[in-house]
Amino acid sequence: MNISFENTENAFAHKTSKELKRAKFLFNTMAYPWFVQLGTRLTPFIMKTGLPFVHQLIRKTIFKQFVGGETLQQTEGVSKAMAAYGIKIILDYAVEGKKGEANFEEATDAFIRVIEYAATQTNIPFISLKVTSLARLSLLQKLNDAPRLRSGIHDHEEEVAEWDRVRDRMYSICEVAAEKNIGVLIDAEESWIQDPIDRLAIELMEAFNKEQVIVFNTIQLYRHDRLSFLQLSHRIAKQQQFKLGVKLVRGAYMEKERARAQEKNYTCLMQKDKSATDDDFNAAVKYCFNDLENISIIIASHNEASNLLAANLMEEKGLDPHHSNVHFSQLYGMSDHISFNLAKHGFSVSKYLPFGPIKEVIPYLMRRAKENSSVSGQTGRELALIKQELARRKQ
């Protein structure tokens, strides 16, 4: 497969030199972990002051780089720009950490509006959501820790009604998604709340993935137990006769996972090293490719080797690059050299595009900043490619 992720002309064709210089400044800043640590701690508090210059600074830098806008309508410009290069969009209403039933109901309505909007567009096949947008964090943690009865139901009757409301919200969202033929990607979250999310995802897939894949669960391969969980999910899907939808990622909560395990003195679920994570991620890709008739896979990775592995597997198996059950995805604002070069070769690629009021998407932005600073080589690679393209344009 003659794909080069070094082709910066393809990678940044959608960006002006001014935009590239802004991105260069931002990634230069992220290259200093101490600065990122300080910034991610102070920014949420500073934002609460409501000072206009703070909002403008955030809006013109990290918000503009990684977020599509504050409203659905504002994402339209980004969506059209991506469509011109064969890139699709995964819309993410990036509001999380809300509390109270009223807020959860409001979020449910918002996700349904996102699905209805996506259905009117030609290049938005998926939306993404977090169950923590619809459920109390402490409820999920209690369900994660609680013993289960033979039926699989947690033995906490006082919370049954509350959990039923969470399930009803998810069913409402997925019913509209099925009607509109829009995929719903359920994000993975922290390990101490993940079990009820996994169980709900399996339940929803059994309900909605009979004929086509509407619901996708996310598998974080930086956990050493997730490859076996993928295999278990596949066995359940075959037994219950539904199609499995999976989004494969390395993971987004590494620092939190390790800190909590150390604080509470338990064995961390993180892989022993990056090499082990890479091995499991690539093994998961190969596993899914062995049954594409019944598994729909989204390879959500910024790792060049893993994307090339998947592209080469498709060629070896004689699969069309636009195979309906294979999709590539990267975050908006990152790894354009992967997204745009894959799309140039005819592969199905999407950018994960969050949107929402600037105050509400701060948790997402802080994760992006931390991820870029903690993942070895990520910021340096982005910077090198931007500098390469700016130098090419001067020639």
Domains, the chain, in order of start with CATH, read: 69-361 (3.20.20.220)
Contact 387, 8 (CB under 8 A): no
d(CA 214, CA 126): 9
Which residues are CB-neighbours of 95 under 8 A, at least 6 positions away? 107, 110, 133, 356, 357, 360, 361
Residues facing 294 on adjacent strands: none
φ, ψ (nearest 5 deg) of residue 351: -100, 130
Largest CA distance in the chain: 69
pLDDT of residue 74: 94
Which of 83-115 are b and which e, b meaning 16 or more Cβ less than 10 Å from the residue's Cβ?
A: eebbbbbbbbbbbbebeeeeebeebbebbbebb
Cα 100 to the chain's mean position, in Å?
25
- Half-sphere exposure of residue 163, counting CA atoms within 13 Å on the CB side? 19
pLDDT of residue 360: 82
Other beta carbons within 10 Å of 147: 7
Which of 339-353 are b and which e, b meaning 16 or more Cβ less than 10 Å from the residue's Cβ?
A: bbbbbbbebbbbbbb
Dihedral angle sign, alpha carbons of residues 85, 86, 87, 88: positive
Dihedral angle sign, alpha carbons of residues 311, 66, 38, 270: negative
Per-residue pLDDT of the chain (395 residues; tens, 9 = 90+): 688 999 999 999 999 999 999 999 888 887 766 666 666 666 666 666 666 676 777 888 888 999 999 999 999 999 999 999 999 999 999 877 678 999 999 999 999 999 999 999 999 999 999 999 999 999 999 888 876 544 455 555 567 889 999 999 999 999 999 999 999 999 999 999 999 999 999 999 999 999 999 999 999 999 999 999 999 999 999 999 999 999 999 987 887 898 999 999 999 999 999 999 999 999 999 999 999 999 999 999 999 999 999 999 999 999 999 999 999 999 999 999 999 999 999 999 999 999 998 888 877 777 766 665 555 567 788 999 999 999 999 98
d(CA 395, CA 184): 45
Looking at residue 332, what DSSP letter applies?
T
Other beta carbons within 10 Å of 306: 22
Q: Say if strands 183-186 and 215-220 run parallel, antiparallel, or are unpaired.
A: parallel
pLDDT of residue 39: 62
138 residue type, one letter? S
pLDDT of residue 151: 45
- Calculate the alpha carbon distances from 360 to 36, 72, 138, 156, 370 in Å: 19, 14, 20, 32, 17
**Geometric angle at alpha carbon 117, from 115 and 120, rounded to 5°:** 110
Contact 356, 26 (CB under 8 A): no
d(CA 215, CA 373): 32
pLDDT of residue 35: 60
